[in-house]
Amino acid sequence: MSTTVRKPVHHAVYDTYADWETGHTTAHLARGGHEIRTVGPTAQEVRSIGGLRVRPDLALDALRPEDSSLLILPGADLWDTTDDLAPFARKAREFLAAGVPVAAICGATAGLAREGLLDDRAHTSAVSFYLAATGYGGGERYVDTDAVTDTSGAGALVTAGPTEPVAFAREVLRLLGVYEGEVLDAWYRLFHDSDAGAYAVLERAGAA
């Protein structure tokens, strides 16, 4: 009998990456059985905006879409101050073209906008004028909401602003089938709204 091997989730890490933005996502993906592998510009250690030091599991050049189930791009000061992270946006283009999902939050959405990846997809970010400053052509596709998943292209694209790490996680967990239906709703209510009553739903489902 054949079994399906679950491919890892790849989480980009680079100097000044916003470590708080993807913590809910990676923690609950891991609890759901997904391996998380970090990807840096090189294999050299990077340091988050919170001072955490991370030695990447692999360098960006070694990452292939066919070896992954998702690419996560967190925000970072470098998205708006240099072109150093442009290779990650180009890698996101490779992933989407190959039908592999990408999830970007905060400054990473601006990186995708500069790469032209938001011109034809529904998306969100911190605020509309933040993306407008990139000069991109997707302003009419901007959605003023907590997080957006667009499935109109070959690969699904999740976007969110910096104040919505829980909504960002909700979209990713739904996309990869970790939680769904009332369980996903309860998860969101617990971690976003501190709704203690939602815990019972998760406990019954074995997700607590």
Which residues, other chains included, contact 206 with Cβ-Cβ below 8 Å and sequence gap of 6+?
none
Tell me which residue has tokens 């960006």: 60
Q: Is-catalytic flag, 16?
A: no
Catalytic residue among 106, 156, 183, 184: 106
Q: Which residues are catalytic?
A: 106
